[in-house]
Amino acid sequence: MTNVLDIIKRRRSIRGYTDQQIAKEDLELFIDAANQAPSASNAYPWKIVVVQEKTLLRKVQSVSPGMLGKPAAVMAFCTDREKTGSRGGHELGLMDVAHAAQNICLAATDLGIGSCCIKSFNTEAVGGLLEVGEQYEVCYLISLGYPSGEPVKLNKRTVEEAVILWQ
């Protein structure tokens, strides 16, 4: 079994992909991983739209400037307005989505599939293309695909740089 810390350290934002398709079982595994993430009050105020069809992928990408390369699939997280309508519900919903998205990225890394989380997209335009309806708001995208080339080299900050106070 792969060490979880090893997967965490191997995960990178991948912005270049090969043409290889991702198996449906793998995408289902990613959604199952997302479902294991914590959610405030066990509410899970989000759902996912999976896009693999090439023409729709291109259209979604055209209104998502933060999406680079040619991903094999995109998962669009949508918050459920009926569940996030209460006080503070929207922020909690976004936190839940972030937990779930990280699980998807880590599960993808474990299978050798690249991922990139994207916030630079037009919410209304993507929502319209995906026809999610009024109940849902597209809030986060994950592009997925088998990596081509190396990711951008980044220096991750140190433990000391992350800590304000340790008493």
Partner 1 sequence: MGRIEGLNRGEWLELFCFMTSSARGLIGEPELYGPFRITDSIEKIIELLENQKLIDDSFLKAEKDKIREKKLTVVADRDAFIAFLDELVMDFTKELKKETL
Contact status: 59 vs partner 1 (CB under 8 A): yes
Instruction: Please spell the DSSP secondary structure of 42-70, one letter per residue.
Output: G---EEEEEE--HHHHHHHHHT-TT--S-
Of residues 59 and 90, the one with the C-beta less far from partner 1: 59
Helix, strand, or coil here: 115?
Answer: strand
Strands 136-145 and 114-118, bridge-based pairing: antiparallel
> Is the distance from CB of 77 to CB of 101 less than 8 angstroms?
yes
Contact status: 62 vs partner 1 (CB under 8 A): yes
CB of 122 to partner 1, least distance (A): 4
Contact status: 65 vs partner 1 (CB under 8 A): yes
Contact status: 128 vs partner 1 (CB under 8 A): no
Contact status: 9 vs partner 1 (CB under 8 A): no
Contact status: 121 vs partner 1 (CB under 8 A): yes
Backbone angles phi and psi of 76, in degrees to 5: -105, 115
Q: With contacts defined by CB under 8 A, name the span among 3-11, 24-32, 102-110, 115-123 that binds partner 1.
A: 115-123
Residues near 51 by beta carbon (within 8 Å), at least 6 away in sequence: 57, 60, 73, 74, 75, 76, 130
Q: Rule CB under 8 A: choose which of 15, 46, 137, 140 binds partner 1.
A: 15
Contacts to partner 1 by CB under 8 A:
13, 15, 58-59, 62-66, 68, 120-122, 125, 152-154
